[in-house]
């Protein structure tokens, strides 16, 4: 995993909106997990899904003990990639106005009589996380669009199309989130070679095997030309992301190989995210 974002801040400051923006930018987003469970869950996701960008929503509903030991959680997460903390804050009066308008209770409302007391206590509980923040954003006078622009600027990203390249195995089902699905089961199958079976399409022996067939190169060229031609049209249509799924029988050899080649061909021009859906099934 290359980048992990922890998104937190005061209740009512826009954490949910920030996660929606990050999801549009290609991040895999998970909200409201207990802090103590984050290292284990991130480790499992890293091992099984090969995610490159993950955003984790954390708030004051974690236990006081977990919040106080955030440094330990932060250090464990660093084993899986670069970790940044985005902390959202808002002026007290603006928070009070937002809660009054929404008529939703503050997460600490069952412990304190006044909303102002809830806000002050929350600041103290979140202080250990705030001290680790690499990005702090005051959302007091920001709309959702303003928040998006600020996140793009502070994260060093631009509002451009994210291309998600996904390999999968037909025997495990067709992905429901794909914009395009291409079938490469007609290519020679390394699975039937006992020496190649344990490898994946990311490994040199399988790549050498598939490279020895002309139809492999023809299939790659056709897919690459299709994407090179039509991705600009999708970008001009203000799409945030597009998912291109490549399938073979088991999702370990041929589809993985094609996805890897497409990534290398397209990444100089496009922002690419890769997901090998069946990695957990690889032998």
Q: Token pair 């705030």 is at which residue?
A: 130
Which segments of 138-195 does DSSP mark as H helices, in order? 144-154
- Please choose, from the candidates 163, 184, 166, 150, the residue with its C-alpha nearest in 3D space to the C-alpha of residue 240: 163
Q: Which residues are annotated as a binding site?
A: 9-16, 59-62
Q: Which residues are annotated as a binding site for GTP?
A: 59-62
What gap in Å lies between CA 8 and CA 1, rounded to an integer?
20
- Let me know the angle formed at the C-alpha of 16 by 14 and 29, rounded to the nearest 5 degrees: 140
Q: Rounded to 5, what percent of the chain is helix, strand, coil?
A: 45, 20, 35
Alpha carbons within 13 angstroms on the beta-carbon side of residue 218 total 6
Q: Which residues are annotated as a binding site for ATP?
A: 9-16
């Amino acid at each position: 995993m290359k980048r992990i974002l922890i998104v937190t801040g005061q209740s009512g400051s826009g954490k949910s909106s920030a996660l929606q923006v990050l999801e549009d930018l290609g991040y895999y987003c998970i909200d409201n997990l207990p802090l103590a469970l984050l290292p284990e869950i991130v480790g499992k996701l890293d091992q099984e899904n090969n995610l490159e960008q993950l955003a984790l929503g954390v708030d004051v509903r974690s236990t006081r003990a977990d919040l106080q030991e955030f440094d330990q959680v932060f250090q464990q997460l660093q084993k899986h990639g670069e970790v940044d903390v985005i902390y959202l804050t808002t002026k007290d009066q603006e928070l009070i106005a937002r809660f009054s308008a929404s008529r939703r209770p503050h997460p600490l409302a069952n412990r304190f009589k006044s909303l102002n007391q809830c806000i002050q206590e929350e600041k103290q509980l979140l202080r250990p996380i705030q001290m680790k923040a690499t990005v702090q954003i005051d959302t007091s006078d920001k709309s959702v669009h303003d928040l998006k622009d600020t996140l793009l600027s502070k994260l060093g990203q631009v509002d451009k199309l994210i291309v998600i390249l996904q390999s999968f195995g037909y025997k495990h089902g067709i992905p429901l989130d794909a914009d395009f699905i291409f079938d490469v089961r007609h290519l020679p199958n390394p699975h039937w070679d006992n020496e190649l079976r344990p490898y994946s399409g990311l490994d040199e022996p399988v790549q050498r095997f598939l490279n020895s067939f002309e139809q492999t190169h023809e299939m790659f060229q056709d897919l690459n030309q299709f994407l090179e031609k039509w991705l600009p049209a999708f970008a001009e249509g203000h799409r945030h992301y597009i998912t291109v799924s490549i399938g073979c029988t088991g999702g370990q050899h041929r589809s993985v190989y094609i996805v890897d080649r497409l990534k290398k061909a397209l990444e100089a021009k496009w922002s690419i995210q890769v997901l090998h859906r069946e990695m957990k099934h690889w032998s």
